[in-house]
Structure 1
Amino acid sequence: MSATHSFEPAVPVHTYQRIVDQIEQAIVSGEIPVGSQLASERDLMVQFGVSRPTVREALRILQSMGLLESRPGTRGGPVVLAPSSKTLSRSLRAMVGTDALDVAALIEYRVVLEGTTSRLAAVRRDAAQLERMRAAIEQMERDAEANAETFADADLEFHEAIWEASGNEVLRLSGQAVSGVLRVIMQRDAEGEHHDNRVKLESAAIDRRLFAAIERHDAEEAGRIARHAVADRFAPLIDDERDRRVLSVLAE
């Protein structure tokens, strides 16, 4: 007796996508070094056994991903770029836009990110980084009377300063990658009718307490303030009760 299983219809993959996947993997793995030139279109046509339009479509996608760059006056193919936070941010925005990644997952990530980077920043921060944080908070306090966009800019500047002060390049880059997605949520949150200037000032006050903990090297307190701040701020945007419970656990 044979087992039964419900399969989904097979979806054909465009030829250019197979080229994109192979070249992307070669760049990420280091097989094709950053700064080098890719083979010419003609050479790629021969290697992949495809037409010129197919190669050009693959190169166009790779350039839009930020992995290649065409430079005037160079011979051969485009120059290979290092994968960056912008590349990841673009992918995350696309995933959120197509519901492949939900907002709850991003908020959970933000809780972990802010808690960890704040703890590290309390240990590693220097005077210049502290000054950058202080200036961002003062800008937030001034912009509470202005529009939500400028307030969100200052808020993001404060957190970017913390990511930098953490001294962990992986966390800094991943923070920048996801910030492009969450900034839209932050601005919408600040623009809501229930979020008047008083609420913006309360948000700035929380960041000032976080700054104080980082300034006095209190890693435990800095992590706690950061986790709770993100969880409290974004919990209303999560509909699922189980996801809200998970967020509460992460914040502790």
Structure 2
Amino acid sequence: MTRVRDAAHALAELSLEALPGAHLGGEDELLDRLGVSRPTLRQAAKIVEADRLLQVRRGTRGGFFAARPDAADVIRAPARYLRLNGATIADVHSVTRLIAEQVAALAAACTDPAPLAELAAFRDRIEAADSVPAMIRSETELARLLARMSGNPAAELFIEIGYTFGREEHHLHFYQSDEDRAQARSLQRKLCDAVLAGDAEVARLMIRRRADLITGWLARDLAVGT
């Protein structure tokens, strides 16, 4: 198994050194280059393919080609890992609320006119989100925009993992009432205003209030389900 693991590592390195889609060689060429047997190379290729770093094509124009995982591949894996290890939406929320606070503060420091204009346009259409699906889309859009404005790729990733996990929790009953949606929209407006004004502390406060609102909804859903 060590030979397979070493061959997989070598294949992954070859892929990362090349541009996505670049031809890395045919099977016979890579057998010579890596100095492994055909079964070892094929097992290693399966491992690297599973990591979305390799594409193996058969036929006359086939061979081994460099590949890259897309955002969906990257995000689904940790969300699945969390679920398989017993994480609940409450567990995920307790962590992402802390990240969201920092994201909001960093977004308030953003000076790039393009995302600031995007946020202002988002604020102008907040009232249009008056159904459960529209509210979910609105919350997701705002979270992604603020994460992008934060300039922190790690924050973007963790926020996206949290929302991906949450979208699979079909038992949740968020934004069901007019009052719930009105509260959420009010906090969205105040958060947007704070970020647009460059007020990091108020932005953090609005995130805390939004997080407390969600915590209350989680408790309510739990009570209904018991």
Q: TM-score range by the shorter chain?
A: 0.7 to 0.9
Per-residue CA deviations over 1:46-78 (Å, capped at 9, x if unaligned) read 636626764564354233xxx334679965302
Asked if residue 47 in structure 1 is aligned to residue 39 in structure 2, the reply is no
- Structure 2 Cα separation of the partners of residues 25 and 104 of structure 1: 40
Q: Could you tell me how far apart the structure 2 residues matched to 1:172 and 1:95 are?
A: 18
Instruction: Measure, in 1, the Cα distance between the counterparts of 2:128 and 2:17.
Output: 46
| Equivalent position of 1:103 in the other structure | 89
On the 8 A contact 2:11/2:48 being kept in 1, the answer is no
Is it true that 1:131 corresponds to 2:142 in the alignment? no
Q: Select the residue among 164, 170, 191 that pairs with 2:148.
A: 164
* Pairing 1:15-30 to 2, within 5 Å after superposition: 19=4, 23=8, 27=12
Whole-Å Cα distance in 1 between the matches of residues 194 and 154 of structure 2? 23
- CA offset digits 1:10-42 (Å, max 9, x no partner): xxxxx6x99579746974x89832525455445
Aligned residues: 214
Secondary structure in structure 2 of the residue aligned to 1:77: strand
Partner of 1:114: 100
Equivalent residue number for residue 47 of structure 2: 58
Q: Structure 1 residues 167, 21: closer, same or farther in 2, change over 3 A?
A: farther
Deviation of residue 176 (structure 1)?
2.7
Matched position secondary structure for 2:198: coil
Q: Identify if the C-alpha distance between structure 1 residues 171 and 20 changes in structure 2 by more than 3 Å, giving closer, same or farther.
A: farther
When normalised by structure 2's length, the TM-score is 0.73
Which of 196, 221, 233 aligns to 2:202? It is 221
Residue pair 1:68, 1:78 contacting (<8 A) in 2 also = yes
The AA in structure 1 aligned to 2:95 is: Y
Unaligned runs of at least 5 residues, structure 1: 1-14, 240-252
Task: Give TM-score scaled by structure 1 length.
Answer: 0.67
Q: 1:232 to 1:74 in 2, by over 3 A?
A: farther
Which of 135-144 and 181-190 deviates more? 181-190
Separation in structure 2 between the aligned mates of residue 234 and residue 77 of structure 1, nearest angstrom: 49
Computed over aligned residues only, the root mean square deviation of the Cα atoms, in angstroms, reads 3.8
Q: Distance in 1 between matches of 2:39 and 2:109?
A: 54
- Summarize the Cα distance change of 1:23–1:55 in structure 2 as closer, same or farther, 3 Å threshold: closer
2:51 is aligned with what amino acid? L
Deviations 1:117-144 (A, max 9, x none): 1101111143332332233344442121
Percent identity between the two aligned chains: 16
In structure 2, the partner of 1:143 is: 129
